[in-house]
Amino acid sequence: MHELSIATSLIEVACESAELDGANKVTKLSLRIGDLSGVVADALHFSFSLAAEGTLCEGAELDIEHVPVVAHCPRCDESFTLRDVNRFICPKCESPTPRILTGQELDLISLEVHVDETARA
């Protein structure tokens, strides 16, 4: 289960960004996870809640946007969303489509943070 390593890295990056901004609490993390990234959302949620304990991200919500796998057909010169992530074949002309445009993302997009002035004082 590599999601724990991913959650640990996510929390590290998020806490660092929040601290740089002077925030002392992260309440939401918005992610983009590709359907071909090898990450299982449920496992990431579970790992995140454990790994976030005692950090600025403790109790924060994970908002995951799933990114479909989009490939490009060189013959039709068109892009299409794969119905099956193990079939890189153009639905129109049946040509192989090795070029992947989206679907491998593993990105942190934004954070919802709070700055508690009284706590900072």
Q: Which residues bind another protein (CB under 8 A)?
A: 1-2, 5-6, 9-10, 12-14, 17-18, 21, 23, 25, 27, 31-32, 34, 36-39, 85-89, 96-98, 100, 104-117
- Pairing relationship of beta strands 70-73 and 25-34 according to DSSP bridges: unpaired
b/e burial code for range 71-102 (CB count within 10 A of at least 16 → b): bebeeeeeebebeeeeebbbeeeeeebeeeeb
What minimum distance in Å lies between the beta carbon of 33 and another protein?
9
What minimum distance in Å lies between the beta carbon of 51 and another protein?
12
What minimum distance in Å lies between the beta carbon of 59 and another protein?
14
